[in-house]
Structures are given as structure tokens and as C-alpha cells.
Amino acid sequence: MTGQITITRFDAGQLESRLGDFGAMLHACVHDGASIGFIDPFGMDEAVAFWRDMVLPAMRGGKRDLFVALSEAEAEAEAEAEAEAEAEAEAEVEAEAEAEAEAGVGTGARAGTGAGAGAGTGTGAGAEAEAVAGAGAEAEAGTGAGAGAAIVGTVQLDCAAMPNQAHRADVCKLMVHPDFRRMGIAKKLMQALEKRADVLGKTLLTLDTRTGDNAEPLYASLGFATVGVIPAYARDPFSEKLSGTTIMYKMTGR
């Protein structure tokens, strides 16, 4: 998958308006084997609930920053596919309306009520056409409400520390959609997070990641040091296997 990737910071309102999109991305990551707190079976309802019930309140409380990777190319492809599907549906409805109108006029002429039949059919066809137009307007309005590029990655900066740890923050839930891996997105997300942490005056960042995952060398390349490994820390998403977690930190130099 190619296309322009943009990293931005979402506010609570933006997250709330696209809960379904965030849920879909989380759902795809978990089912691809990501160790981010969830296990199979893991449905869309649970995926959306995570963002709605866990992340959204923290953002509204000013304790969580959400960084999002957006793909313009993916959004354009989805919009084109939706437009084609809508056009095909409208063409089918119009064809059916025309066929019904022709059948109605023919029957009315034979019965000697051609004018009435034609008028009745015309009214029905007009109403059907209005319904199609209305559906199109609703679809357009819905697209506008959720307009924007496709969400393909996220990471969170959790600043909900105790008063004696106000200088530090936790890195949480770094994830990239399976279709957008190996494009440097995770690194860009982390760089944006670190810039924000610096603005907030955070001099210590902490995190944990499944031992042996691809994220571990990524964090190391960004200057995170390893404290140690806690064995048998978390369950595999698809089995009873328990994996260790690597505890890491980074001093920002302030």
C-alpha cells in the first residue's frame, strides 16, 4: 500500500466522530497478532468500546494525547469505491422505475385509464427518484461527517501520573494497520509523540512491549534503554502461551 502518510494529533471530538474507524484499525491489528492487551475472540463492538470507554474519557480529562497516521491515498480509493457502488445502485433503481412506468402506461391504455395510470405511475416514479436523491444526500452527508484520510496507525501519550511523577509520561498502544507495515509509520508516530512530550515538559518516557516483537528494536533505535524483562507477563492473542514484556525508558535530556 502506497500513498502520502500524514501524522497529526487528534482531539477528543475528532476521536469521537470516527470511533468506528479507530475500532476497525484496532480490530485489524489484534487479528494480525498484535499484543496490545486483547485476545481472541475480539469483535468490533469491543474494539470500538476501547476507544469510547477508555481513551476518550482520558482525552477529555486532558491526560491523554492521541497521535494518528492518516493515508490520503487509501481514503481516496475508498471514496471512489463508494461512489461507484452508489452510482450502480441508483442506476438499478432508475431502470426499475422506468420499467414499472412503461408497464403501468401500457396497462392503463388498454383499460381506458391511460391518463390516470400515467399520472399515478409518474407520481410513484417521481417519489422513487426523490427517495434515491434523498438517499444520495444522506450518504453524502454521512461521508462529510466522517470525512478525512483513512486512519492507519496510532500511538498515545499518557500523562496521568501521580503528583511526584509529573515529569514523566507513558507511551501506550503503538499500532499500525497490517496493510501499512514497513513504511516507517511507527517511527513517525513516535517522533511526533516525543515532540509533544518535550512541549509538555516531560523528561522521562516509559513503556513496555512484548519481548521479541518488532517494536523492541524500533524503540531501541529511538534511544529507549532496556530496564529488563518480566517473564510470562501477557497472554498471546490466539493461544494460552505467555510471553515476557520488556520494560524500556528514555530520558529526553531536559
Q: Find the radius of gyration of the CA atoms of the chain.
A: 26
CA dist 124 and 107 (Å) reads 15
- What is the helix (H) or strand (E) element at residue 228, kind and residue range? strand 225-235
Under DSSP, is residue 175 helix (H, G, I), strand (E, B) or coil?
strand
Under DSSP, is residue 207 helix (H, G, I), strand (E, B) or coil?
strand
CA dist 246 and 223 (Å) reads 15
- What is the helix (H) or strand (E) element at residue 116, kind and residue range? helix 114-145
Burial of 61 (0-12, 13-18, 19+ CB in 10 A): exposed
Per-residue pLDDT tens digits of the chain, which is 254 residues long: 556 999 999 999 999 999 999 999 999 999 999 999 999 999 999 999 999 999 999 999 999 999 999 998 655 555 555 566 677 767 777 777 777 777 765 544 444 444 444 444 444 444 433 333 333 333 333 333 334 699 999 999 999 989 999 999 999 999 999 999 999 999 999 999 999 999 999 999 999 999 999 999 999 999 999 999 999 999 999 999 999 999 999 998 65
pLDDT of residue 80: 59
Nearest to 157 by CA among 116, 120, 202, 187: 202
